[in-house]
Amino acid sequence: MLGTPPLADPTEAKVELARVMREQELIPYAEWRRRLLNGPSHQHIDITATSGRWYQVDVEVFWDDQPEDVIRVMVCIDDAGLSAFRPLCDAILIERPAASE
């Protein structure tokens, strides 16, 4: 059967992905907007899990629908093996803050 081999430890990869997602959620809209307008809109992070296993994480940011509105942040993780062709991914939406009245 053809297919991409799974992550060496999918449970650990999910834990690490969730941790990185929580970090991304703390970044305010203004910073994401700055990255979209001035770069970089893509970030590559190498992390080492508590097990000692190494993962590569890619964070990609883009407008979800219309410029200057909702921002989508997509995070993908893989163990740099063949699973890099089918990484584990998640995304969050960052809402634009309401204008001050």
Q: Residue 74: enclosing H or E segment and its boundaries?
A: strand 71-78
**Number of separate domains in the chain:** 1
Q: Is residue 3 part of a domain?
A: no
- Residue 88 has a pLDDT of 94
- Residue 101 has a pLDDT of 47
Q: Is residue 4 part of a domain?
A: no
Q: Is residue 64 part of a domain?
A: yes
Residue with tokens 């991409």: 4
Q: What is the CATH number of the domain that holds 63?
A: 3.30.1300
Q: Is residue 100 part of a domain?
A: no
- Residue 5 has a pLDDT of 58
Identity of residue 41? S
- Residue 92 has a pLDDT of 97
Give the residue from 83, 60, 63 showing the smallest Cα distance to 8: 83
Q: Is residue 87 part of a domain?
A: yes
Please list the ranges in the chain whose pLDDT falls under 50.
1-2, 101
Q: Which domain holds residue 23?
A: 10-94
Q: Is residue 74 part of a domain?
A: yes
Q: Is residue 5 part of a domain?
A: no
Q: Is residue 39 part of a domain?
A: yes
